């Protein structure tokens, strides 16, 4: 069977304390993403951040499916808000690239998996908004930024019956958690298919017009790359959808 190419959106980070390279921007993705894609039967491909529309179209065309990776906070200007005190570091160039890449994937009907910030990008693309800082904007929340190994689940999710996610993971699955922003207003085109015990959205799906889009707030790649077969199922589903 042909192994599909799974494009993974990159991130930018300034290089610090590296001699003549200090201050340069580095394109990167974490190896948990590439490892999970390979284990699921796909071929991972880093998609470097670009502002060139022709390059972005080519990125989508090169791939059978797209993963929108996690990263820093999303720039609130992109969903019509000013930053609050709890808003963290963001780089608008990355967010704009992710949004344009997602729109191109939608146009081409390429399957998309959004992880953590990637799910938030999906929500914004369809017209939704975010909590800029969960602790200061929500009361009685559980801990969403864990202080333990990345492959350990730290809170349960409730999964909606009949959803795609329910076919992959059992209800009550423990997931890891590395975020202080979250989906707030959800547009009508998207379906919330998992939540945490405090009501924070943990998964979104869009299955209209033959399009496959799944967003998850946790980091399945961190768990799958360390041997979690249930979480690897998310990547296997993406690979399967990419060759239909």
Active centre residues (catalytic): 116, 219, 221
Give the Cβ contact number of residue 208 at 10 Å.
10
The rounded distance, in Å, linking the Cα atoms of 48 and 12 is 8
Q: Which residues does 57 contact at the CB level (< 8 Å), separation at least 6?
A: 104
- CB of 85 within 8 A of CB of 130? no
The rounded distance, in Å, linking the Cα atoms of 203 and 184 is 12
33 closest CA partner among 24, 43, 23, 25: 43
The rounded distance, in Å, linking the Cα atoms of 95 and 78 is 8
The rounded distance, in Å, linking the Cα atoms of 212 and 9 is 17
């Amino acid at each position: 069977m042909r192994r599909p190419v799974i494009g993974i959106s990159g991130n930018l980070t300034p290089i610090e304390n590296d001699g003549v390279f200090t201050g340069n921007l580095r394109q990167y993705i974490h190896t948990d993403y590439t490892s999970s894609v390979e284990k699921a039967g796909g071929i991972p491909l880093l998609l470097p951040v670009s502002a060139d529309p022709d390059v972005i179209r080519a990125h989508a065309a090169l791939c059978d499916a797209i993963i929108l990776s996690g990263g820093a906070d999303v720039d609130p200007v992109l969903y019509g808000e000013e930053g609050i005190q709890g808003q963290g570091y963001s780089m608008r160039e990355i967010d704009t690239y992710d949004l344009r890449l997602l729109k191109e994937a939608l146009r081409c009907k390429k399957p998309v998996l959004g992880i953590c910030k990637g799910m938030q990008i999906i929500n914004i693309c369809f017209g939704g908004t975010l909590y800029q800082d969960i602790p200061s904007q929500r009361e009685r929340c559980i801990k969403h930024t864990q202080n333990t190994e990345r492959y350990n689940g730290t809170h349960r999710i409730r999964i909606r019956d009949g959803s795609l996610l329910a076919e992959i993971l059992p209800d009550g699955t423990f997931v890891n958690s590395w975020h202080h922003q979250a989906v707030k207003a959800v547009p009508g085109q998207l379906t919330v298919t998992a939540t945490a015990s405090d009501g924070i959205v943990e998964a979104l799906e869009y299955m209209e017009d033959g399009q496959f889009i799944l967003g998850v707030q946790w980091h399945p790649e961190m768990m799958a790359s360390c041997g979690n077969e249930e979480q690897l199922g998310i990547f296997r589903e993406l690979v399967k959808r990419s060759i239909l």
